[in-house]
């Protein structure tokens, strides 16, 4: 940060992060976010992934109803996001002063001038060629791009052109469902571990395809602590003896960490292969695990208990009475809870994650220059791997 001593507009923080606890606001005030968020050109983002970053794709694509209280905290209505409010990607968009990404599949009210969101709830990398596996999302992107090119060639000025596709940021956040599906098929830890290289190979293929299409800026999230999700904790019967000191399932978290190690290795490999690309690996696991392990420090309570669900403590999760369905109930103190529905994080937790991605691991030192300059060919590739 030191090389950029930009002036601070404190009012920006208040509007971007209105509900942070006071210590966080004070911490934020010492960072020049808003000055950094003024790009010469409007940011362009393409996102691929699962429910962690789906801004309405499942609701649009399959007409799948996602009922209130989903969306209650920020939007005041259900938007198809699996949270009570904004997701990490929404906070990243806000910090870049760009509008929320429209789901690629949403035909009404969408704008694709600042990119598109291909992420859909439930997506995995494998099996391929099923809605909405990563390779299908990439095929949708190829369609989106070639259609944009046709329309731009025909004179449209409101769509993304070749230069826009080149300077765009390509975000990938996938893998959680590959791990989760494997465990729910009763695969043992070694069997789950054996599948990880196949998943990583799919992510490699996706990034390579985007690169071949001209993409140069990649922002890759690793996967969170699967074994700390109330859904897993309530469904896994044989977890006694497999819980860590925080109450999370050790083997599930070990699988997540194994996946993350392989993903980091992939990012490092691709960085040396694709010399003119910038590839940023973001350690979401460390951030989420810290929030769970140190919940009180962040003003949270009951980090392993769903706010919205059924059954009460310890996990408040029942697979037959899930959030948004008849019989489920939502807690009143959502702003003090980490987990929303047993699988997904609350807006309050997502906000802290975003803050950490943007500030504390000096992520903003990366995100803003990458997205603002659209990085020409000068970069040799930056790594953000927060060292927890």
Ligand X SMILES: *[C@@H]1O[C@H](CO)[C@@H](O)[C@H](O)[C@H]1NC(C)=O
* 294 counts as binding ligand X under rule CB under 6 A: yes
Out of 8, 25, 94, 97, point to the residue binding ligand X (CB under 6 A): 97
Contact between 68 and 337 (Cβ < 8 Å): no
Q: Determine which residue in the list 178, 202, 283, 290 makes contact with ligand X, applying CB under 6 A.
A: 290
Residue 236 within binding range of ligand X, rule CB under 6 A:
no
CB-nearer residue toward ligand X: 221 or 271: 221
Residues 122-181 that bind ligand X (CB under 6 A): none
- CA dist 172 and 174 (Å) reads 6
| Paired residues of 217 in beta bridges | 169, 278
Q: Which among 134, 260, 138, 266 has a CA at the least distance from the CA of 202?
A: 134
Specify the stretch interacting with ligand X by CB under 6 A; choose among 22-30, 51-59, 286-294, 361-369.
286-294
CA atoms within 13 A on the CB side of 153: 6
Identified binder of ligand X from the candidate list 17, 20, 28, 34, rule CB under 6 A: 34
Does 99 sit near ligand X (CB under 6 A)? no
Window contacting ligand X (CB under 6 A); options: 137-145, 213-221, 285-293, 334-342: 285-293
Phi, psi of 292, deg, nearest 5: -75, -45
**157 CB-contact burial (10 Å; exposed 0-12 / middle 13-18 / buried 19+):** exposed
Instruction: Name the segment binding ligand X (CB under 6 A); options: 65-73, 114-122, 287-295, 318-326.
Output: 287-295
User: Is the Cβ–Cβ distance between 102 and 112 less than 8 Å?
Assistant: yes
Least gap, CB of 37 to ligand X (angstroms) = 5
With CB atoms as reference, the residue minimizing the distance to ligand X is 290
Nearest approach in angstroms of CB 191 to ligand X is 13
Contact pattern for ligand X over residues 238 through 277, marking x by CB under 6 A: ----------------------------------------
* Burial class of 213 by CB neighbour count within 10 A (0 to 12, 13 to 18, 19+): middle
The tokens describing 254, both together, are 């070990």
- Label residues 16-29 b or e (16+ Cβ within 10 Å = b): bbeebeeebbeebe
- As a three-state string, the secondary structure of 108-160 is CCCCCCCEEECCCCCCCCCCCCCCCCHHHHHHHHHHHHHHHHHHHHCCCCCCC
Does residue number 12 form part of the binding site for ligand X (CB under 6 A)? yes
Q: Which member of 289, 300, 359, 384 binds ligand X (CB under 6 A)? A: 289
The yes or no reply on residue 183 touching ligand X (CB under 6 A) is no
Q: Are 78 and 67 in contact (CB under 8 A)?
A: yes
**Could you tell me which stretch among 79-87, 137-145, 290-298, 360-368 binds ligand X (CB under 6 A)?**
290-298
Query: By CB under 6 A, is residue 185 in contact with ligand X?
Result: yes
C-beta separation of 242 from 188 below 8 A:
no
Of the candidate residues 293, 321, 360, 382, the single one contacting ligand X (CB under 6 A) = 293
What positions carry a catalytic annotation? 51, 341, 344
Tally of residues, the chain: 388
Q: Does 37 participate in binding ligand X (rule CB under 6 A)?
A: yes
- Contact footprint for ligand X (CB under 6 A): 12, 34, 37-38, 97, 185-186, 237, 289-290, 293-294, 388
């Amino acid at each position: 940060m030191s090389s950029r001593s930009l002036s601070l507009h404190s009012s920006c923080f208040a509007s971007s992060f209105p509900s942070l606890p006071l210590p966080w606001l004070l911490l934020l005030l010492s960072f020049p976010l808003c000055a950094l968020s003024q790009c010469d050109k409007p940011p362009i983002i393409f996102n691929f992934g699962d429910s962690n970053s789906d801004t309405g794709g499942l609701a649009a694509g399959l007409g799948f109803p996602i009922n209130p209280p989903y969306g209650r905290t920020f939007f005041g209505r259900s938007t198809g996001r699996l949270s009570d409010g904004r997701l990490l990607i929404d906070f990243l968009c806000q910090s870049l002063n760009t509008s929320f990404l429209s789901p690629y599949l949403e035909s009404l009210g969408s704008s694709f001038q600042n990119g598109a969101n291909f992420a859909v709830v439930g997506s995995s990398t494998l099996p391929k060629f099923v809605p909405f596996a990563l390779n299908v999302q990439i095929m949708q992107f190829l369609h989106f791009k070639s259609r944009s090119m046709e329309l731009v060639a025909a004179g449209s000025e409101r769509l993304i052109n070749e230069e826009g596709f080149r300077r765009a940021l390509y975000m990938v956040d996938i893998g959680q469902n590959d791990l989760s599906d494997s465990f729910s098929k009763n695969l043992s830890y070694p069997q789950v571990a054996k599948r990880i290289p196949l998943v990583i190979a799919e992510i490699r293929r996706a990034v390579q395809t985007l690169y071949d299409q001209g993409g140069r800026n990649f922002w890759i999230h690793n996967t969170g602590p699967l074994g700390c999700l109330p859904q897993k904790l309530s469904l896994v019967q044989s977890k006694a003896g497999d819980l860590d000191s925080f109450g999370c399932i050790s083997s599930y978290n070990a699988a997540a960490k194994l996946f993350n190690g392989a993903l980091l290795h992939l990012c490092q490999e691709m960085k040396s292969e694709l010399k003119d690309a910038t590839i940023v690996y973001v350690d979401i696991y460390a951030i989420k695990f810290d929030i769970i392990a140190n919940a009180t420090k962040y003003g949270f309570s009951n980090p392993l208990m769903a706010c919205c669900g059924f059954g009460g403590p310890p996990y408040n999760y029942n697979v037959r009475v899930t959030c948004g369905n008849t019989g489920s109930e939502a807690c009143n103190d959502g702003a003090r809870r980490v987990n929303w529905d047993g699988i997904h994080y609350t807006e309050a937790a997502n906000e802290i994650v975003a803050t950490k991605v943007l500030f504390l691991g000096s992520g903003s030192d990366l995100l803003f220059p990458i997205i603002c300059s659209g990085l020409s060919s000068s970069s040799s590739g930056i790594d953000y791997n927060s060292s927890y």
